[in-house]
A = this chain, B = another copy of it.
């Protein structure tokens, strides 16, 4: 068994030798109960494990987990790719309200290829591409065994990195466009944090439906290129926060109607700008707080402008048994990635370089695209 701090991860990947499993490693998936004997076993799995909550670069270790029995209705999947999402980091830090008990394997979504199936499994066979849908914990490892109902087979012509990342961020974008306001072609939405994956998806999913988007980004070097990039994706308007320091925000809009719904993943001033753009009676949906600043709203915004403020959390939406709807939406989103109508920035990173990918995901190396581990 190899247990090493991430700073030594590369060495661990080179020098790893198997050793007898500890008690908890026999359980492998912390949530599973002790399993009955089974003839088929999974291969051993190399995994990013944390034994305690804390800063991910301090608590994450690479471990070799022993083979696991494959029950009749289990599917053993060889993972191909899995992203590092902000919520993965928050789960490891212990600040996310819903998280697996420690010790745990990191990751919550990803794409894999079926390696072997239990005797009672129907509709899946070795070689199929599958994703856990709804998303499920423990995807940062080379072999993952879960009950057949967890897995959703997808079209193998899908670009691997999109298949690995479709179930959280793009689904959040799709649900938020559907669940709060009845949007029609020709309507407008406004958002801050427009360069995030959710932000890029909102622009494109809106465009597919003929809905305009107003996008707010941070002031930073290269803002002009960012604007051009978002406009290429279909953004109607892109403003930096500084550009919006004007008395009459709405005078900046020329041809498009006032937005009826806004999306906020930043907080602070960037949230106030979304509120200012909204039409009378509009709704702002908060799904993130990147600035770590709260949202401040005037009394008159509620009384005289009749604004509504709501929140969206995919995990809650998924908890109300939406597996069928969820998979239909995943198929729709993946079809858009295949046709090129939905795309977003990602960087594939070999599993051996996980520490670098984690540093990038933690923001230690400046603004970086979404990191996707390739196993």
Interface residues of A (CB under 8 A from B): 97, 267, 285-289, 294-313, 316
Contact = CB atoms under 8 A, between A and B. Distances in A.
Contacts of A285: 302
Given A289-B298, A294-B296, A301-B311, 18 more contacts: A97-B304, A285-B302, A286-B299, A287-B303, A288-B303, A294-B298, A294-B299, A295-B296, A295-B297, A295-B298, A295-B302, A297-B297, A302-B311, A302-B312, A305-B311, A306-B311, A307-B311, A308-B311
A303 B313 CA distance: 5
Nearest to A267: B299
A349 to B, nearest CB: 28
- 4 closest A-B pairs by CB: A302-B311, A289-B299, A286-B302, A309-B309
A294 to B, nearest CB: 5
Given A307-B311, A313-B304, A297 B299 contact: no
Q: By CB atoms of chain B within 10 A, which of A297, A306, A307 has the most?
A: A297
Given A297-B297, A299-B295, A308 B306 contact: no
B302 A310 contact: yes
A130 B228 CA distance: 64
Contact of A309 (B289, B297, B312): B297
Contacts of A308: 308-311
B297 A294 contact: yes
